[in-house]
Structure 1
Amino acid sequence: MRAKVVVFPIRGRNWCFSRSIDPSAAAAQSSTAPSTVTELWNKLSSSKPSEDSKVELAVDFFANKMNEAWTKLEKAPQGTLKNKIHGFGVKLLSRVKPSEIFFKSIPKEINRVDIVYPSSLNPRLVRRRLRHLAFRGSVIHTKYFYCSAIMVPLTSVFMVLPLPNIPFFWISFRAYSHWRASQGSEKLMHLVTDASYQPSDQTTKSEDSSTQDKKSENSATSPFVFQPSEELEKLIQNKDDDSCLSECGISKICEKYHLNVADVKKYSDSV
């Protein structure tokens, strides 16, 4: 399984790291997830998946149910309690860091990462920053996962109240989110660490054909492939007065590489 990651400076020293996901591929992936308890039980009863896969199936099933409940809150009439709860949840979600969203988009099944970055950037610097981000994310999200998991039973005591147990659902969501982010960051860190540094634009004219063929073969099997883009280089030149990528530039990049505009914009305000 392959994943395409788009990297580009968005404001000063702030870089955007986002996975490009084709909408058609996302729809096909979501269709394979179990939607009912019966489907979940049939997949869990099968001898094919491993124990880790069974745990992921169960977690994904309950995560999908939480997403369905969130969608119902979003469609609630204005002024109702459900609508107010949704508005409060949107404010909480706006505080989630964009790097966490990026790590959650990295599945454990990937065996190759294609890095698209502006041609003016040094590929060594791109790899170094991505490796640092992945290492830092694996430490932080693993730590916060355990903290959130410990708090889940404590917030369950609010179930006796006649109101929706918002703390329980929020802490449960944060535990799931940190767990997914820790898995994605660890997988990305392993791929970056194991990959040999062979950017495609470093082949010189003086090399003979056998050397070039050998590099091409290594590039095809490498888990980490650099793809400098002249088009992305042109798009990041559209900046505002404060050296921040303009709204128009962000929209064009997101449209070109199938990125989420709201998630990308968070990078300009992150520290």
Structure 2
Amino acid sequence: LKKSGLLTLHRGTECFADLGGLDALKSFCTRAMRRQGEANPLKRPRGVLLLSPPGCGKSQFCKALGNETGRPTLMLDIGSLMGSLVGQTEANIRQALKIADAMSPCVLMIDEIEKALSGVGNSGATDSGVSARLFGTFLTWLNDHRSDVFVVCTCNDISKLPPEFARAERFDGVFFLDLPSVSQKGSIWNICLNLFDLDPQQPKPNTQDWTGAEIRSCCRLASLLDVPLTESAQNVVPVAVTAAETVNRLRNWASGRCLDADRPGIYTNGQSTPKRRRKIQADPLVN
């Protein structure tokens, strides 16, 4: 791995106990990976695609999955595959995938994949088709590889990905990670308060529409500034407020299309958006 420079071995100590919520996703992945080194390649798991607003635990889940299942976690940075010579990028992606096959059973993590593949659509006009060929090689490997490599890709905006990327048999499931519920926030609060050695009995701020990353940020700032949680919360602006339209659009897209990461089954958006009605003038003479 060090000699190639194409993949990075994650050496963290994260585990599912450090991650609140996501019960259905945790159960799905651990059941799919329960048998190491399955002899029949058709019974080996392929991976999952995770979609959510920023800060909902996608990357944290990827890092914890390897430790929970006893597999090494390899991190693939698409940008590091780009080469300056003709054909070097294509050779790099093939070499990286060969290394992942040789390291199996393992977990292969590709973070923010929609940004890494953002130039695929107009690749012929921008980079002479290099990104398109890289994407084609990766798609073929996702569909045809027989090694025990569990691929976990994270994404914040699936509309930027080509539709063939998320089709069946490339991944075992496409999961949507929504903002944490009240009970899940309670678990996240307990984890973060214990992590930063804060008083668990102190009053907590109103965390409506907060993500897990924002709860962690509130606890870290309280420890850093030596102030109560209610005061440190004044320095946190939720992403559901700064990007409310984007979050709602993502929820509406995922409803009926993705699996729910918190409970078994298809995700449904419980927040109904009110329909806009055309305003009619009371005076019929007014056009």
More helix by share: 1
Structure ranking higher on relative contact order (CA contacts 8 Å, 6+ apart) = 1
Provide TM-score, normalisation by structure 2.
0.24
